[in-house]
Amino acid sequence: MRRIQFILIIFISNLSFSQISGNLTNSKTGAPIVFANVWVKNSLKGSTTDGDGNFELEKGKVGDTLLVSYLGYEKIEFLAKKRNIIKLDPQEIQLDEVVITKAKNTKTISLSSYKDYNDINMFYLNGHYSFARFYEYKKEYKQNTFVKKISLVTASSLEKVKFRVHLIEADKDGNPTDRRLSSYIILETNSGKNEITIDVSDKELLFPENGLFIVVDRLNLKQNIFNSKYMSNVLEPGIGMEKRSKEKNTWLSYGGKWIQPKQLKKFAKKNKNIALNIELSN
């Protein structure tokens, strides 16, 4: 009898901690939602949907509270089953009344973290989380209020590693909000150290007076995970950081919550700003 009870306990335990899987689609069109983050709420356990909207959570268990987030859709929370079929509702966006102006792109100013990307030799490595660097609005930007270009530096041991960048607005106290300034920009980097420059001049992104965050998302996809005899399950790419940071204004996000700059070191082992070069235009 004791042996039967012991086997039953092991069986139940294995069921509870077995792999969670699922599929995400648009509730209106039925189209798969690609590269959406699925988290065990308030934890570092997470996954990213693939090109068919499928995901797997190897460390999740039945009964966990899962959080799904993707720009343009309502956030949802639910209790995990073994297999989860999720339909996300597109989010209605209410815009404030604004005066529409068109970018001229005749004058520019630069906000620089580095001169030569080869000088970047420190990187935030591994970890399924996002980095977001805050930029305060300043009076000297008044004549150059459009974000024209964004450059960052990556390092990877793999080819064709996908990640993404997007911009969100800050609130009046300089905290991240859910108000998006851009859609996701999907990027791909090759092995080694690379500088990636994103031209967003056609999007006419105005620098809001509350300030903005440039968010860099790692995607927890199988093809982004590096394994060798020395390392295992390393999520690529590494994101370059500044050599010196006068102000600490890089935040970290995971599991549906934001971590302030003063807590960054606890989670990412370093607390320097991610290295970004930004060009503003009129």
Residue 96 has a pLDDT of 47
Q: Are residues 131 and 268 in the same domain?
A: yes
Which tens digits make up the pLDDT trace of 139-190?
989 888 999 999 999 999 999 999 999 999 999 999 999 899 999 999 999 9
Above 90 in pLDDT, residue 256? no
Q: Are residues 220 and 119 in the same domain?
A: yes
- Give Cα separations from 162 to 165, 186, 187, 274 (angstroms): 11, 7, 6, 18
Q: Does some domain include residue 93? A: no
- Give Cα separations from 129 to 164, 186, 256 (angstroms): 12, 16, 10
Q: Are residues 205 and 76 in the same domain?
A: no
11 token code pair: 């069986």
Which is more confidently placed, 11 or 260?
A: 260
Q: Give the mean pLDDT of 20-28.
A: 96
Q: Are residues 117 and 30 in the same domain?
A: no
CB 119 within 8 A of CB 243: yes
* pLDDT bucket at 101, cuts 50 / 70 / 90: low
Q: Are residues 54 and 130 in the same domain?
A: no
DSSP 8: H
Which residues contact residue 193 at a Cβ distance below 8 angstroms, ignoring those fewer than 6 apart? 117, 118, 120, 153, 154, 155
Above 80 in pLDDT, residue 15? no
Above 50 in pLDDT, residue 73? yes
57 token code pair: 């959570």
Q: Are residues 56 and 163 in the same domain?
A: no
Q: Give the mean pLDDT of 49-77.
A: 92
Q: Are residues 246 and 218 in the same domain?
A: yes
Determine the structural domain holding residue 173 and report its residue range. Answer: 108-281
- The CATH code of the domain that includes 30 is 2.60.40.1120
Which tens digits make up the pLDDT trace of 102-142?
667 778 999 999 999 999 999 999 889 999 999 999 998 98
Q: Give the mean pLDDT of 194-218.
A: 95
Distance of alpha carbon 186 from alpha carbon 19, whole angstroms: 28
Q: Quote the number of domains for the chain.
A: 2
Q: Is the pTM of this model over 0.75?
A: yes
Q: Are residues 138 and 187 in the same domain?
A: yes
Q: Does some domain include residue 261? A: yes
CB 255 within 8 A of CB 132: no
Which tens digits make up the pLDDT trace of 209-240?
999 999 999 999 999 999 998 888 899 999 99
* pLDDT bucket at 22, cuts 50 / 70 / 90: very high
